[in-house]
Every structure is written in structure tokens, then in C-alpha cells.
Structure 1
């Protein structure tokens, strides 16, 4: 598969009937669920699990989503969703990009960008990215 950026982290998605809305295509909310799913899978692959987030009393909370729905997906479609860390300021924020493609024709169905802000899980207040986040996410950084 040819992606917008090099070296993506990719998950496979099979579109189930549960993802389909009254218009007979994937509901918009499913795309966000998949964005969250690939984000966590990538973080875990890098060594930052939810348990580690809790130990460090930190979370990367969504600050802004930019979502571009380019073409619909349907029940039974096989998809691949890629993500990249494209910015990590080393202080308070991290940005990911996403690209969703249908496997059978490699058509891009969806693109997104999410900016996360680092907060303390215990208070919800902004906090600096732990050194571990800076090192791990910074090491995964792809230049756009």
C-alpha cells in the first residue's frame, strides 16, 4: 500500500454491520473510534500502555481533531488505517496524522490530524510531557 508518509503504523479493519448507519455506509463516529484504536495500538507498540500512562499520572487528551471524509466505506470492506506521530513539541503537545484506505483498490477514504495535549490524569490539568513520552514519541516522529 502506498501511504502519504513513510513508515506508517498500520492496523487492519474489517467493517462489520454494526458500523453501518441508516445511509448504509460506515457511520462518521466509527472513524473516530478507529482513530482512537490505532493511536492506542501504536502507543502500545512503542511501549506506552494505558498502565504506563496511569503510573506516570499523564494522559494525552484530544485537543483538536481535523477530519476529512473523502469516500464512504461499506459493510464487508477490508480497510487499513495508518498513523504517524508528526509533531512532538517536547513540552505539552503531540500531533498524529491518519490515513484510511480500502484494501481492494487502495482508495483513500479518510484522512485526519489530531493534536493531543498532555494532562495529569489525577487532576485533568495541563502537565509537561514526561521525559519518557518525549523520548519514545519523539523517536517515532516522521517529518511531513
Structure 2
């Protein structure tokens, strides 16, 4: 059986695939919601690394983007043996302190959306955890990665 093409909410996603394993399944028999959250975390961090901002850069700049607010819409369940694809996008950057990241998880076999997520991120100083203005490297790199919605959105 051929996989259904995936239909993303926004153009040009960063994607990361996941295979549902037995350890992802909860007592109800589907992927536990906390696993979806960890997949978002992993996709967000992998996207940051792909953009060239990882732990070394964070430490050098004494800056990190941390989650201030998170919202997840759990739409459908995933089950053991299924293949899923998480997409993520940076959707806003105020060029000062905050940016937004969105997520969409789809099941590869039927293209159904299982989860949509939203994060509001804030820049903090790693040395003390207090909010700080984004370093120029963050603003330039993350700012350039902010997606431009389709004309029909």
C-alpha cells in the first residue's frame, strides 16, 4: 500500500519521522500525549540544529529560546507500528524577545493530522534564566526561517 501524500498547514516544513514503538503506547492502547509533546520538542530542536543554532551557539551567546506557552490539539490517535511525520515551522519573530513555532503531526499511511501544536518562545540568558533581547545571530537566523503563509491562508 502506498502512503498518502501529506498535506501541511504551511509551506516548506522542517519534517522529522517517527515510528511508533511499544514504549510509546499508554494503558489506553495509543500513543501517550506526552510522547507527542516529546516529538514536538525533538522536531523543534532538530530544526534549530539544522539552522545552525545548537547548544554550543547557545552557550557562546549566553542565550536560549525557551517555551513560555504551549498549546496542543490532540486530534487523532496513533498506534504501535505506525509511521508518523512531525512538521514544524517558525511562524513569527518580534526581532526582540519572542518567536512562535507551530507543529503538525501526520500519520504517513493516510495523511491524517493527529496533532497541531503551538509554542510561544522567549529568549533568556542561559547564565541566569532571565529574559533578554535576542542576540543578532538568533534574530538573523530564526528571523530568516519564519515562513511566509500561502496567499490563500
Normalised by the length of structure 1, the TM-score is 0.98
Q: How does 1:54-69 map to 2 (within 5 A)?
A: 54-69=59-74
CA displacement, residues 51-102 of structure 1 (integer Å, 9 cap, x when unaligned): 1111111111110001000000111110000000001101001100100000
After superposition, the C-alpha distances for 1:95-131 in whole angstroms (9 at most, x for unaligned) are 0010000000000000011011100010010001110
Matched residue SS, 2:39 = helix
Runs (5+) with no aligned partner, structure 2: 1-5
Q: Distance in 2 between matches of 1:119 and 1:140?
A: 20
Q: Does 1:119 align with 2:130?
A: no
Segments ≥4 residues shifted beyond 6 Å:
none
Q: Are 2:77 and 1:72 aligned?
A: yes
Equivalent pairs counted in the alignment come to 144
Q: Give me the TM-score of the superposition, normalised by structure 2.
A: 0.92
Question: Counterpart in 1 of 2:90?
Answer: 85
Q: 2:54 aligns to what?
A: 49
SS at match of 2:101: strand
Give 1:38 deviation, angstroms: 0.3
Q: Which whole-Å deviations, capped at 9, do the CAs of 1:18-53 have from their partners, x for residues lacking one?
A: 111000101111111011100010000000011111
